[in-house]
Chains A and B, each alone.
Chain A
């Protein structure tokens, strides 16, 4: 209780310092938060792109319904398959017309549907990797009744490269932004501690233990960190809502990222505070 009082009255006395400290920590956390939200969104985009990975098997015109059924049973037996859909030639034509839109009358000129029936096959998400997709596609191609196969080989290659580049860039940027936040926050906190070095030295001189001296600063660090986390989170969320109005697919941080963000903000401020007080406590000589 005494330490709590001490922390609060210390902050009141530090007044402007405390406010400046919270503003600076809020800004650094905000930048880090923007990075986290950007990461979350890019991940969603990549996940969405991965969802589009599918194998289309075009069927031989001469295959009977029984042939289609046995083919489907055969394909379903392949592991990794998540879902399979039969697309009749009529359905395929409908889709094509939709794509042509206002110019769909061009297609009316045809007296016969030239499109083959097909099977649209998706693999389970964890198997939507290039080698796996190619392997499954080649296996399906060899099956009786399958005339041709298409699975966007080029697209998968690009996508996988993107995922790899993104992972690296994300980690590098994350480290830079994270370290910058840690440095800014700990230096800011250090300034507020520095402003009270007389107090720290004096307490040491009159027989205060390390814990007694550090406790109020630690509490102060936690309060600074928590307030800054709240403010930056609020700004971040309002910003996200503003963007989400225009881009409806935008996502916010997933909850585990939110937990990380809160813990990160509070810990950095508290540890920064702790470390700066320690450095004064460990001064060898009294001045």
Chain B
């Protein structure tokens, strides 16, 4: 088991974002997280990369537990967890290539390995030819590919995507979902929070539905829509 939520809740001053969530994600699994706006999808993903600590319960990711996590261990955990966002979060003063190099540098890889890996991962998202462009010169879809390449640079065990197609047109979204499925076929677990019910429903993957911070439904792959 790769990710496990044990009775996790997250309470902000403003209110409860997650309430007694228990779920697990296996190695190599692909799952959608859906639910209305404000349901707690983003918060759920944050719990996995430890962007926020749970107010109650425990999140376990591989060998890491939210119960005992130093700053140093948090950094190590994040090398195992790739994250992409709706708004890409690329550094616009760095080229696509340099953006992809960041996690490798942070992990202390050797310069030659960094270049090799950055090139190969950019190639695998189909952006080898545009790797020296700066993000503002790339289309939304291309920027998201760079972001995915960056998240995959360290070969994480799991890739988290928070509304990865929220800023993209349907055709580009299609390509991004294809890329995510492709990555999953390579053995990486993928967790996608999305409003895009069409994809979530028809790809025949696991769907975790969240409503008001609780799991409303957790449907396994290829189960009939009830």
Binding site for B on A (CB under 8 A): 2, 13, 198-199, 202-210, 212, 281, 284-286
B91, A205: Cβ atoms under 8 Å? Answer: no
Contact with A along B48-83 (1 / 0, CB 8 A): 010110000000000000000001100111110001
Min CB distance B61 to A, Å, is 13
B11 within 8 A of A: no
Complex Cα spacing A92 to B107, Å: 85
Q: Tell me if A203 and B46 are in contact (CB < 8 A).
A: no
> Contact at A207–B51, with CB atoms within 8 Å?
no
Name the distance in Å between B87's Cβ and chain A's nearest Cβ. Answer: 10
Q: Verify if B14 is at the interface (C-beta below 8 Å from A).
A: no
Closest to A199 in B: B91
Nearest 4 A-B pairs (CB), nearest first? A208-B106, A286-B51, A207-B78, A206-B103
A77 to chain B, nearest CB (A): 72
Asked whether A198 and B52 contact (CB < 8 A) given A207-B107, A209-B75, the answer is no
Distance between Cα atoms of A205 and B160 in the complex (Å):
12
* The residue from B72, B77, B83, B106 contacting A203, defined by CB atoms under 8 A apart: B106
Contact sample, A vs B, 9 pairs, CB 8 Å cutoff: A198-B89, A198-B91, A204-B78, A205-B89, A207-B77, A207-B107, A281-B71, A285-B46, A286-B46
A112–chain B nearest beta-carbon distance, Å = 94
Encoded as 1 (CB less than 8 Å from any A CB) or 0, chain B from 106 to 117 comes to 111000000000
User: Which residues of the partner chain A approach B91 to less than 8 Å between Cβ atoms?
Assistant: 198-199, 202
A202 in contact with B52 (CB, 8 Å) = no
Q: For the complex, what is the distance from the CA of A199 to the CA of B92, rounded to whole Å?
A: 10
Residue of B nearest to A284 (CB): B52
Residue B206 is within 8 A (CB to CB) of chain A in the complex: no
Distance in angstroms between the alpha carbons of A30 and B107 in the assembled complex: 41
Residues on the B chain within 8 Å of A286, using CB: 46, 49, 51-52
Of A13, A203, A205, A286, chain B has the most CB atoms within 10 Å of the CB of A205
Rounded to whole angstroms, the CA-CA distance of A88 and B109 in the bound complex is 88
Q: Are B76 and A207 in contact (CB under 8 A)?
A: yes
Complex: A57 Cα to B150 Cα, angstroms: 90
| Interface check B102, CB cutoff 8 A | yes
Query: Is B105 on the interface with A (CB-CB < 8 A)?
Result: yes
Task: Tell me if A207 and B106 are in contact (CB < 8 A).
Answer: yes
Asked if B75 contacts A208 (CB within 8 A), the reply is: yes
Q: Which residues of A contact B93 (CB under 8 A)?
A: 13
Q: Is B154 an interface residue (CB 8 A)?
A: yes
Question: What is the minimal beta-carbon distance from B94 to any residue of chain A, in angstroms?
Answer: 9
Bound-complex Cα distance A202 to B46 (A): 14
CB atoms of B154 and A207 under 8 A apart: yes
| In the complex, chain B residues whose CB is within 8 Å of the CB of A205 | 49, 51, 78, 83, 89
Chain A contacts of B76 at CB under 8 A? 207
A207 touches B103 (CB 8 A): yes
Instruction: Please name all residues of chain A whose beta carbon is closer than 8 Å to the beta carbon of B72 when the two chains form the complex.
Output: 209-210
Say whether, besides A2-B105, A199-B91, A212-B106, A206 and B150 are in contact (CB < 8 Å): yes
New A-B contacts (5) at CB < 8 Å, excluding given A203-B102, A208-B75, A285-B46: A204-B75, A205-B83, A206-B78, A206-B150, A210-B71
The residue in chain A whose Cβ has the minimal distance to the Cβ of B80 is A207
Contacts of A202 in B (CB 8 A): 89, 91, 102
Q: A286 CB to closest chain B CB, in angstroms?
A: 4
Contact of A206 with B102 at beta-carbon distance under 8 Å, contacts A13-B93, A198-B91, A286-B46 already known: yes
Find chain B residues with CB under 8 A from A204 CB.
75, 78
Report A283 CB to chain B, min CB distance, Å.
Answer: 10
- Most B Cβ at <10 Å: residue of A203, A206, A284, A285: A206
* Residues of B contacting A206 in the complex (Cβ-Cβ under 8 angstroms): 78-79, 102-103, 106, 150, 154
CA of A151 to CA of B211, assembled, Å: 94
Nearest CB on A from B154, distance (A) = 7
Q: 1/0 per residue B144-163: CB within 8 Å of A? A: 00000010001000000000
